[in-house]
Structure 1
Amino acid sequence: MDRSRPVEVVATDGSPAAARALGERLVAAVAGHGPAILPTGPDDPPPPAVLTSPVPPGVAAVVTTSGSTGTPKAVRLSGTALSASATSTAARLGGEGRWLLALPAHHVAGIQVLLRSARAGAPAAVMDLREGFRPDAFAAAVAEAYPPVSRLSLVPTQLRRLLDDAGPGLDALRRFDAVLIGGAAAEAALLARARTAGVRVVTTYGMSETCGGCVYDGVPLDRVTVEIVDPDATGAGRIVLGGATVAEGYQGPADPAFLPGRRFATSDLGRLGDDGRLQVLGRADDVIVTGGEKVPPAVVEQALLDVPGVREACVVGVPDPEWGARVVAVVAGADLDPEEVRGQVAPRLGRAAPRAVRVLDAVPLRGIGKPDRAAVRAMWLAPREY
């Protein structure tokens, strides 16, 4: 007897109505009722047939992700894993709470907000994102939410906009008991600025394959494990996450990233600090090898962000006939001189320092706020000047 479960595509358009409808179907799917759901966003093309093929009976959601190669994949998330993630999050944050959804509902972080709030007994309040994320609209969504909201997930770009606005949106942000920051690396200066402003930020690390964030402020959630495999002399190696929140795999052929013992080999490098907390150093495939030295872009970006006036930074490698690759960077900020910026980080970074720096109005982003390294690399390779 075939016990496989059909997959239903649930379209979202950024509206509260669409997000609420997705939340209802998601809750039912996690409870084992009806089909598994595959949420899509307003600009997504119709998913190919392989992504909507039937799934094993325990799978509740199929979430698409670009992965490390940019090739779309679809992650099978079981109801058990999603429930474990929601339960562990509540335990880490000191109990249940009502959430505000200010992220795209079809991303893994969005469906987690919908699930966590439903498990707490009140559907999530939903911000209308059809015209994008604006501080004034965020403030209005918080003010209109009833029952009141106390939990929130944001990406660093949204946090920066609210801090820069310094108006009602920031006042609303201060009301939350916990503001989870994930989806992309959040620089230390941004987090410090938020905490100084009275925002209770919690950094998260994870991906669709782990039901979203599963390491909070460097510490894994309950029933989650962190390993560093093949570490180098500095203790840096590939991050492997394991435990109750790991997905069932991808739609399609088995993938070697899913390891025995319910573990997932990420594409990220990290190390465990002296305090045992995970330090994420960036993607393994972003590492720049220049003159035989391995340079993680995240290390260089953090140094650039420590320069006064630098608001954003993105570091890439471009071909070099002598060094194999050379480190270059783009930064965004007020009244910046590229040579002065480079001069301030060169003594600290040595051979890892960028050979050249360009100043932009804003660093290109992709998805929900990650630096678009491909676009930055194209800038440097193009024959024209930027």
Structure 2
Amino acid sequence: MNQSDEAEITLLVCDPKIIPGINKYIVYTIKGMDKNGQFDIQRRFSDFKTIRQFLLTKWPGCYIPPVPPKKAFGNMEQQFIDERRAMLEDFLKRIAALKFLWYSEEFQIFLKTPGEIEKALLSIPKITNDEIINKYQDTFQDLSGREINREIIQKINDFKAFIKKVQPMVQNFKQIAKNIAEAKQSHQIILIDFIIRVIPQYENTLLLEYVEQQEKLPFTNILQIEEVKGLIDQYCELLKDPKLYQLYQEVRKEGKQLKAFLETFSEREKYEYQKANAESRQKELELQLQEVLAGKTTIRTLFSKGKKDENIAKLQFQITEVGKEIESYQFICDILTVLVGYVEIDKFKVEKQYQYYSMIKSIISYQSRLSEIEEKLWSKVLESEYLQQQQQ
């Protein structure tokens, strides 16, 4: 693809603020810099959905990353606001990686034009078939000459069928991941309380009565050791990290991404449908022309105005124009077939691999670190003099 070296894009989505009123909503500040200079603007969640829809329309056949899902209830809770802010920032970073989208007219309007975004975007004229062809030929020059064959068509159809097949499975995975994350988080909260409060309280209120000597309280005594204090602090901080919640978020994100890729197929199919309609119109016009040339009187010719020669010329002109329309639709369909078959599917697969391996690596590193600190902490407890005596 023709993505020239642009100045590095920096961006941040920050400072979510609740705007009071009958229908409260949240605005997010988007700030950063690109080759056109600095930007610092406020947008609400619906604005992100609006720009994504415009990108789908203006760049048919291109995979447009999804925005976070909408939530009817609890969307003013701080945890949800923080999660959505991170997801919106991730959406913008994915757009920034695709320079042809980032520097498109519609996205620059979203990024740098104050006020109502939908009104500003609607001022952009609708894109014509010729404009799509010219834009794609310029943007995707490296796809020139790629062959459209049965294998590439089969690849597209197979991947579309795959997405439809696995969507219910991903929804199931999402629920499983959510249950695991919530159970793990609940367990870790209880474990922190057990270490920080329950064990010391038991030793000082009950065990002390049994052993009658403060120095015989194994856990309470090691809490005075700086090394142990540090281990407990590290351990509790790790327990507070809802790492497995990231697994749920990734699976949740994957469901949205699969749905977004189906939209990529839909945009391509839309032009195939329009081409088929144009071909039907052309056949109908050709049939009318044959009837006029044969001098037949039909319902269509009965109510047509003008002389026979004028009707013939008019029909011939319409047939020629529809033929041009069919050619443009065919050209666009070919471009989108090449784009989806040679670029978007492969790119999507690579991205999913990277996301999965990064997530698993992060979780495994977390669990390893947690186990390491846990072993050190409880080993220190086992080293207590009076626990050693009880083992003998």
Classify the TM-score, shorter chain: under 0.3
Q: Which has the larger radius of gyration?
A: 2
Bigger helix share: 2
Tell me: higher relative CO, structure 1 or 2? Use CA pairs within 8 A at least 6 residues apart: 2
